[in-house]
Chain A
Amino acid sequence: MKFLVCISNVPDTTTKITFTPDNKEFNKAGVQFVINPWDEYALTRAIELKEAQGSGTVTVLNVGEADTEPNIRKALAIGADDAIRVNAAPKDAYFVAEQIAAIAKEGAYDVILMGKESIDYNGFQVHGMVGEMLGIPTVAPAMKLDMSANTATLEREIEGGKEIVEVNTPFVASCQQPMCEPRIPNMRGIMTARTKPLKVVEPVGEGARTSVAEYALPPKKQGVKLIPAESAGELIKLLRNEAKVI
């Protein structure tokens, strides 16, 4: 079975977000980039399923410029077999979906996995776009994925519960916890990752449909109003009479 796992390169979760002085772009200075945490579920689960089947391949795909290669190598060190980088800055979800769909089609992958969303842009769109472009089912967001021959059984999160869904390959799923315990690379993985193939291809398609005009930070809080612990009940009165939220 051929797995295609799409990863994005995002600021580390502890990053304090700032923008360039014109507010048009994210300020990358001094920021560490990591594999999108949601994508780690997709990557690890693909590797686990390949190992359980005893055959198959896991290919990692990233749409990004050369500076994303350390994280692509990290994915190879975790256990992916090979990697493809589409040489372009990701413009929007549609642009990224076009790249994934083109590569998925060409490589005839059976299972296309990715994280639920990226923690920087939070689009939660790419999975459905890829599914529609390829005319195959999408399951999003998936909390569990098991495979038996060409049939997958997934648990899909719904508000207040879950659905058990069965689909045949090929399909797309976006992943989230508690699908698996994401792996960290070991020394042997790091050594072998250096020699695994990483192919660079140029982007295709019509291009982006949206653009960001400006970024902004949320308004600053006024400051906390402290209530002494002995008279905690006063808080409830304030929430009703002053904040008017209860």
Chain B
Amino acid sequence: MSVLVVVECDGGEVKKSSLEVASYGSQVAQMLGTTATAVAVGEATEANLAKLGEQGISKVLYDAEPRLKDFVNGAYTKLIAAAAEKESAQVIVLANSNIGAAVGSRLSVRLKASLATNVVELPKNDGGSFTVKRGAFSGKAFADVVLSGDRKILAVKKNSIEALHEAGKTATVESFSASLSDADFADAPKQVVMQDQAGGVLLPEADRVVSGGRGMKGPENWHLIEDLAKALGAATACSKPVSDVDWRPHHEHVGQTGITVSPNLYIACGISGAIQHLAGVNSSKVIVVINKDPEAPFFKAADYGIVGDVFEVLPKLTQAVKELN
């Protein structure tokens, strides 16, 4: 019996969301009086995997098969299922990411496990069944979900758990082979295309987000958003009407039918705060709203606000951040 954590890696590094998942998994292991093992997917280095000891992981399984560098649903599912069997894992923890959701749902059927996604807290162990809090209604509510059965899979929402950090602790890295065949790679990507990210920060992974709405008046004014985002080390985002008229790409659209984000800081510029937009951002830790309309509904959901013209306020904020650094 153990807890298995699925760690996503990219360019040799462990993703930030996976450090959170590793921390979550090791806390669940502690609760159950067992140890947490990780299985790494993507391109990883042994040194970085060993550092997962700092998140409480004792051992990392790593299959160095080069075709696993990019996500392949069939192969990843088989690899993780094999790791779960090897470790007799009763609990599997993964990120509530596109990879986590795609693999977690297949694994739940293959391993006869109950599954909760969008998990925001550690589970309560109630004599074998788990009760765990998850986001529901697109961020407008939470649900306490009961998972029964011997095996459980939890997909943890980003930024909802603090990553542990015990400096100097290391995990042992073990090479692991799931004996993958060509058939397991039938759905391998033919091509992977990365988008240009303003300042190089990925929106779903971001700690800070600067977002613009129709109040920005046009795409030619987006440099104001980008300048502040760059100074803050933030990702850029937008509201639905902005992506609908192609001022910004769809992958920056935050809201009920776009990306749901939960950064530590969300700065909304010229966004009035329709209920669908709020649904996508209201689990952010701190919300700042800048709008010239004092009646904008977003102010009700904000922690800090400035009633003013974004074209005057944004340069001042960027300047203030630069002075701070």
Alpha-carbon gap, A211 to B130, bound state (A): 11
Known: A13-B275, A13-B276, A216-B142. A128 touches B104 (CB 8 A): yes
**Are A245 and B285 closer than 8 Å at their CB atoms?**
yes
**Contact mask for chain B residues 115-152; partner A; CB cutoff 8 A; 1 contact, 0 none:** 11110000000000001000111111111111111000
Size of A's binding interface in residues, CB under 8 A: 77
Q: Which A residues, 94 to 129, have Cβ-Cβ distances below 8 Å to chain B?
A: 94, 97, 119-129
Minimum CB–CB distance from A237 to chain B (whole Å) comes to 7
Q: Does A37 contact B (CB under 8 A)?
A: yes
Q: Does B165 contact A (CB under 8 A)?
A: no
Alpha-carbon gap, A19 to B279, bound state (A): 17
Which of A129, A161, A163, A225 is B304 in contact with, Cβ under 8 Å? A225
**Are A178 and B250 closer than 8 Å at their CB atoms?**
yes
Q: Which A residues, 209 to 225, have Cβ-Cβ distances below 8 Å to chain B?
A: 209-218, 221-222, 224-225
Which of A166, A177, A210, A235 is B306 in contact with, Cβ under 8 Å? A235
**Are B320 and A233 closer than 8 Å at their CB atoms?**
yes
Known: A125-B105, A239-B265. A212 touches B250 (CB 8 A): no
**Contact mask for chain A residues 65-94; partner B; CB cutoff 8 A; 1 contact, 0 none:** 000000000000000000000000000011
In the complex, which of the residues A97, A139, A210, A222 has the most CB atoms of chain B within 10 Å of its own CB atom?
Answer: A210
Closest to B263 in A: A245
Alpha-carbon gap, A140 to B313, bound state (A): 40
Interface-located stretch among B44-52, B171-179, B187-195, B215-223: B187-195
Known: A13-B275, A160-B194. A212 touches B257 (CB 8 A): no
Main secondary structure of the interface of B (DSSP, over half): mixed
Interface-located stretch among A47-55, A56-64, A130-138, A196-204: A130-138
Alpha-carbon gap, A222 to B305, bound state (A): 13
Q: Does B56 contact A (CB under 8 A)?
A: no
**Are B98 and A158 closer than 8 Å at their CB atoms?**
yes
Closest to B294 in A: A226
**Are A218 and B282 closer than 8 Å at their CB atoms?**
yes
Q: Does A3 contact B (CB under 8 A)?
A: no
**Are A128 and B102 closer than 8 Å at their CB atoms?**
yes
**Are B117 and A123 closer than 8 Å at their CB atoms?**
yes
Alpha-carbon gap, A236 to B105, bound state (A): 42
Alpha-carbon gap, A240 to B323, bound state (A): 13
Alpha-carbon gap, A224 to B136, bound state (A): 25
Alpha-carbon gap, A246 to B267, bound state (A): 12
Q: Does A191 contact B (CB under 8 A)?
A: no
Q: Does B283 contact A (CB under 8 A)?
A: yes
**Are B143 and A212 closer than 8 Å at their CB atoms?**
yes
Q: Does B256 contact A (CB under 8 A)?
A: yes
Alpha-carbon gap, A234 to B146, bound state (A): 46
Closest to B149 in A: A209
Task: Give 5 A-B pairs besides A13-B256, A178-B250, A226-B304 with Cβ atoms closer than 8 angstroms.
Answer: A133-B109, A159-B204, A159-B205, A212-B145, A246-B265
**Interface of A with B (CB < 8 Å)?**
11, 13-17, 19, 26, 37-38, 93-94, 97, 119-129, 131-133, 137-141, 143, 156-167, 177-178, 209-218, 221-222, 224-229, 232-240, 243, 245-246
Q: List 12 A-B contacts (CB under 8 A).
A: A13-B257, A127-B105, A132-B109, A162-B193, A164-B191, A209-B147, A212-B145, A226-B305, A232-B312, A234-B320, A236-B317, A236-B321
* 9 nearest A-B pairs in the assembled complex, by CB-CB distance: A128-B105, A229-B308, A233-B320, A163-B189, A161-B194, A132-B109, A236-B320, A209-B114, A232-B316
